[in-house]
Amino acid sequence: MAELTAAPAPSGHPAPAGTAPASGTAPAPGTAPPSGTAPAAGARSDAPSRRRAGSGALPTPRARRRFALVLGSLIVLSLAFGLGYLALDNPMPFGSEGFWIIAKLRVTTLVVMVLVAFCQALGTVAFQTVTNNRIITPSIMGFESLYRAIQTTAVYVLGVAGLTALQGTTQFVLQIAAMMALSALLYGWLLSGRSANMQVMLLVGIVIGGGLGAVSTFMQRLLTPSEFDVLAARLFGSVSNADVDQLPIAIPLVVLAGTVLLLRSRRLNVVALGKEQATNLGIDHRRETILVLLLVSLLMAVSTAMIGPMTFFGFLVATLAYQAAGTHDHRLVLPVAFLTAFVVLSGAYFVMKHVFYAQGYVSIIIELIGGSIFLAVILRKGRL
């Protein structure tokens, strides 16, 4: 009789990053009241009698269980690495005054890691969605080259003192502003003209990045070895590059951009279908694209200005997050990407600090080990 029992849509599936992992994410199939309101369907012989899955992000109970498991493990790992970083290897006895002083110092680093993970994860996923391209990262759009060029120019012109001249909140804001200006110019110019073309924009972005990179490399050749040594430390992405004074500026910017992106998750799902489908479904594609690209630039600019280049990180995390989440829905992919990013970043720090005693070079371990995991996952699954 009731062949068209539309199971209640599990579409309102809330998964903000901070909620409890497993409970409540998977409504038991038995509790769903069947809405047998399709008498006409009874006459249809080709529709087999079965309960239909909904059209939500995770249509089957199996997918829901899998997602709950993934989300749960990521939260547990995040907490483990986060707390481990705060508490482990603290020279003072637990509970003493000194213990808490050291732990407080580490909290800053932890906050920076959370911010960077958030920026890189959300930025890359959203960027890949609006460009309809799953093998690129916003880092190649000139941000990191601009950062390298600014840092190198400072050392080239002012010597080692140049780096100190770049470390202050005003300079931090100026660097973010410079990167935002570059991207706004690029997007505004290339996407609002008559010949608006995403591929051309990406290409121009890469060319600008390449050009700035070449200029930086040339200037680096002319530096003295000691100046170059000081500069090199700034050009490896490292959480220790960040400054406590930057946080009061960085946090509101990141929270603002991140919230707007998360609130637009449903629209991002439609944008992922491509320009023509998105327009057909009533999205103003150009407006949506430019808005998202500007938010992505803000996130990437804050992350880069704070800790330096992390070229491969966002890309790695976005791909792993899609594999882990197993859905197209940004409402689920974005939080998973954020947690994955934090686990990878804090995990890398944990390993570097407690296994290799070389915590300055975390971007190296991320690109080496992360890159290998990435290749293994892609080669095994065979799709992005």
What residues line the site for other proteins (CB under 8 A)?
A: 4, 6-9, 11-12, 35, 37-38, 41, 44, 46-48, 52-57, 59-60, 132, 134, 266-267, 269-270, 272-274, 276-277, 279-284, 322, 326-328, 383-384
Of 17, 113, 30, the closest CA to residue 70 belongs to 17
As a whole number of angstroms, the distance between CA 160 and CA 153 comes to 11
As a whole number of angstroms, the distance between CA 115 and CA 341 comes to 10
Q: Please, what is the minimum distance in Å from the beta carbon of residue 60 to other proteins?
A: 7
User: Which residue number, 221 or 383, has a Cβ lying nearer to other proteins?
Assistant: 383
Q: Are 57 and 89 in contact (CB under 8 A)?
A: no
Q: Are 145 and 213 in contact (CB under 8 A)?
A: yes
Q: Please, what is the minimum distance in Å from the beta carbon of residue 266 to other proteins?
A: 3
CB neighbours of 116 closer than 8 A, spacing ≥ 6?
Answer: 239, 303, 306, 307, 310, 341, 345
Q: Please, what is the minimum distance in Å from the beta carbon of residue 359 to other proteins?
A: 36
Residue with tokens 């509101």: 252
User: Which residue number, 106 or 328, has a Cβ lying nearer to other proteins?
Assistant: 328
Burial group, residue 15, by CB count within 10 angstroms (0-12, 13-18, 19+): buried
User: Which residue number, 70 or 150, has a Cβ lying nearer to other proteins?
Assistant: 70
Q: Please, what is the minimum distance in Å from the beta carbon of residue 144 to other proteins?
A: 28
As a whole number of angstroms, the distance between CA 384 and CA 382 comes to 7
Helices of type H across the chain: 61-87, 97-130, 143-158, 161-165, 169-192, 198-221, 225-235, 247-263, 265-271, 275-280, 285-307, 313-325, 330-351, 362-365, 371-381
User: Which residue number, 38 or 111, has a Cβ lying nearer to other proteins?
Assistant: 38
User: Which residue number, 159 or 326, has a Cβ lying nearer to other proteins?
Assistant: 326
As a whole number of angstroms, the distance between CA 183 and CA 257 comes to 15
User: Which residue number, 194 or 221, has a Cβ lying nearer to other proteins?
Assistant: 194
Q: Please, what is the minimum distance in Å from the beta carbon of residue 265 to other proteins?
A: 8
As a whole number of angstroms, the distance between CA 141 and CA 198 comes to 12
Q: Please, what is the minimum distance in Å from the beta carbon of residue 249 to other proteins?
A: 33
Q: Please, what is the minimum distance in Å from the beta carbon of residue 184 to other proteins?
A: 24
User: Which residue number, 119 or 278, has a Cβ lying nearer to other proteins?
Assistant: 278
As a whole number of angstroms, the distance between CA 358 and CA 368 comes to 15
Of 243, 215, 366, the closest CA to residue 305 belongs to 243
**23 Cα distance to chain centroid:** 25
Q: Please, what is the minimum distance in Å from the beta carbon of residue 328 to other proteins?
A: 5
User: Which residue number, 134 or 353, has a Cβ lying nearer to other proteins?
Assistant: 134
User: Which residue number, 380 or 383, has a Cβ lying nearer to other proteins?
Assistant: 383
Q: Please, what is the minimum distance in Å from the beta carbon of residue 10 to other proteins?
A: 9
